[in-house]
């Protein structure tokens, strides 16, 4: 008789599920490409948030296509969509809704809840940092617990539920910094850069000749949720998971794994949500590469967008013009993949 084995059984449907994931990912990506020129990394980041059930924050100066990208994504998804234009006079009730007095045919009056635009499945929070922190905080419960408490009642939001927000750089007039608790609820922070020469040529050809992109819905809510479940089933080996953990701990100033640049320029390190985001985003990278296990490279590739909004510079870092991206990139370079490398370097 053959010797018994402890190897786990492989799901015979797993390859089919992975192929369906890649096919749907490419389909949504292609539909967005009908309306958006370039910005491949930004599109990939937004789709990663979509397929893990996270929220995305896009930062860039006005006119770079942030809102157009999210609107194109909404058109490619068969989900309820709403847009909230954040302004300084926007109130929390304008976001979540409020109780109003309604009179029926018999003349009786009663309070009825009028739901706000947060009661959608994909919410575009446009220029979110132009509203006051009080209004920004109206999104906290919805983003974390997918529910809204209003008028003494808790109301569940329909899943899948995503907040895709845009914000202007803080140097712009009329902006308010997002509270740290708000930032931490965004899965990725993606920085939208200027388009290049060829991209601008294509943009002009599309937008100044009467061309109207026709983005079609290619995926619905139940299918998105099945893909989210698949992502969580992707295998991550203990030593690769430990690498993600050590990268998170390396952002903590004066901590065991902190690097010299972290100790010099960071005031606050990343929360456990950062480790969760890195792990889930790395699993998406693995699936797109045709693998059902996470590699070290998958982890490295997602650290910066998962952490850039979760670490805070100290006064010295701000005074010297250091960015969180610079600190994180140096931290990645200084953090070895394996414990053995740590031991060899005398750090443990």
Number of domains forming the structure of the chain: 2
Strand-pair partners of 101: 111
**Nearest by Cα to 225 from 128, 281, 158, 174:** 158
pLDDT score for 208: 80
Q: How far apart are CA 160 and CA 78, in angstroms?
A: 11
Residue 56 maps to a domain: yes
Q: Is the same domain home to 55 and 161?
A: yes
Q: Does the pLDDT at position 344 exceed 60?
A: no
- Which of 116-125, 137-146, 214-223, 228-237 is the most confident on average? 228-237
- 235 versus 338: which is more confidently predicted? 235
pLDDT score for 313: 92
> Pairing relation of β-strands 97-103 and 81-85?
unpaired
pLDDT score for 339: 57
pLDDT score for 170: 66
Q: Is the same domain home to 220 and 320?
A: no
Q: How far apart are CA 82 and CA 69, in angstroms?
A: 14
Q: Which helix (H) or strand (E) holds 59?
A: strand 56-59
pTM: 0.85
Indicate which CATH number applies to the domain containing 250: 1.10.8.80
pLDDT score for 233: 92
Instruction: Give the tens place of pLDDT for each residue, 265-279.
Output: 999 999 999 999 999
53: left (phi over 0), alpha (psi -120 to 50) or beta: left
Instruction: Give the tens place of pLDDT for each residue, 89-108.
Output: 888 888 888 877 776 677 67
Which of 218, 233, 248 terminates a domain? The answer is 233
Residue 69 maps to a domain: yes
Residues in the chain: 348
Residue 174 maps to a domain: yes
User: Exposed, middle or buried by CB within 10 Å (0-12, 13-18, 19+), for 208?
Assistant: exposed
Q: How far apart are CA 252 and CA 269, in angstroms?
A: 4
Instruction: Give the tens place of pLDDT for each residue, 214-261.
Output: 888 888 889 999 999 999 999 999 999 999 999 999 999 998 899 999
Which of 178, 200, 233 terminates a domain? The answer is 233
Q: Is the same domain home to 223 and 334?
A: no
Q: How far apart are CA 124 and CA 118, in angstroms?
A: 9
Q: Is the same domain home to 314 and 206?
A: no
Q: Does the pLDDT at position 195 exceed 90?
A: no
Q: Is the same domain home to 251 and 225?
A: no
Averaged pLDDT score across all residues of the chain: 85
CB 242 within 8 A of CB 294: no
Cα–chain center distance at 19? 23
Q: What percent of the chain has pLDDT over 70?
A: 91
Indicate which CATH number applies to the domain containing 203: 3.40.50.300
Residue 105 maps to a domain: no
Structure tokens at 288: 């797109």
Average pLDDT on 27-34 reads 87
Q: How far apart are CA 127 and CA 275, in angstroms?
A: 27
Instruction: Give the tens place of pLDDT for each residue, 281-332.
Output: 999 999 999 889 999 999 999 999 999 999 999 999 999 989 999 999 999 9
Structure tokens at 314: 């100290």
Domain that holds residue 261: 234-348
How confident is residue 5, by pLDDT bands cut at 50, 70 and 90? Answer: very low
How confident is residue 138, by pLDDT bands cut at 50, 70 and 90? Answer: confident
How confident is residue 343, by pLDDT bands cut at 50, 70 and 90? Answer: very low
pLDDT score for 295: 92
Show the CA angle centred on residue 77, arms to residues 76 and 81, nearest 5°: 110
How confident is residue 11, by pLDDT bands cut at 50, 70 and 90? Answer: low
Query: What are the phi and psi torsion angles at 312 (to 5°)?
Result: -125, 130
Q: Is the same domain home to 168 and 266?
A: no
How confident is residue 1, by pLDDT bands cut at 50, 70 and 90? Answer: very low
CB 99 within 8 A of CB 111: yes
Cα dihedral across residues 245, 323, 187, 20: positive or negative: negative
- 213 versus 330: which is more confidently predicted? 330
Q: Is the same domain home to 315 and 341?
A: yes
Q: How far apart are CA 301 and CA 277, in angstroms?
A: 12
Structure tokens at 63: 């006119």
Q: Is the same domain home to 136 and 183?
A: yes
Residue 285 maps to a domain: yes
Q: Does the pLDDT at position 3 exceed 60?
A: no
Query: What are the phi and psi torsion angles at 227 (to 5°)?
Result: -65, -35
Q: Is the same domain home to 28 and 81?
A: yes
């Amino acid at each position: 008789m053959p010797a018994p084995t402890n190897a786990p059984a492989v799901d015979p449907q797993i390859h089919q599920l992975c192929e369906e994931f890649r096919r749907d990912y490419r389909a949504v990506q292609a539909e967005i490409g009908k309306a958006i020129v370039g910005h491949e990394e930004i599109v990939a980041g937004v789709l990663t948030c979509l397929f893990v059930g996270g929220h995305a924050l896009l930062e860039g100066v006005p006119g770079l296509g942030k809102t157009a990208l999210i609107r194109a994504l909404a058109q490619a998804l068969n989900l309820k969509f709403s847009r909230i234009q954040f302004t300084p006079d926007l109130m929390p009730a304008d976001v979540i809704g409020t109780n109003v007095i309604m009179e029926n045919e018999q003349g009786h009056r009663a309070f009825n809840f009028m739901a706000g635009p947060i009661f959608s499945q994909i919410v575009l929070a446009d220029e979110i940092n132009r509203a006051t922190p009080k209004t920004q905080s109206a999104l906290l419960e919805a983003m974390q617990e997918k529910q809204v408490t209003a008028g003494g009642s808790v109301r569940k939001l329909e899943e899948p539920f995503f907040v895709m927000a845009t914000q202007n750089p803080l140097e712009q007039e009329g902006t308010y910094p997002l509270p740290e608790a708000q930032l931490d609820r965004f899965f990725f922070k993606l920085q939208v850069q200027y388009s290049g020469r060829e991209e601008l040529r294509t943009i002009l050809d599309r937008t100044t000749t009467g061309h109207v992109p026709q983005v079609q819905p290619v995926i619905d809510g139940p299918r998105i949720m099945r893909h989210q479940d698949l992502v969580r089933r992707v295998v991550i080996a203990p030593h690769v998971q430990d690498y993600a953990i050590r990268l998170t701990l390396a952002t903590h100033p004066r901590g065991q794994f902190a690097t010299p640049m972290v100790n010099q320029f960071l005031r606050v390190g990343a929360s456990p949500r950062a480790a969760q985001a890195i792990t889930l985003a790395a699993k998406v990278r693995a699936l797109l590469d045709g693998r059902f296990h996470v590699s070290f490279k998958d982890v490295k590739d997602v650290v910066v967008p998962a952490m850039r909004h979760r670490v805070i510079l100290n006064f010295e870092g701000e005074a010297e013009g250091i960015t969180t991206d610079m600190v994180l990139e140096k931290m990645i370079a200084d953090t070895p993949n394996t414990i053995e490398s740590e031991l060899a370097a005398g750090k443990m």
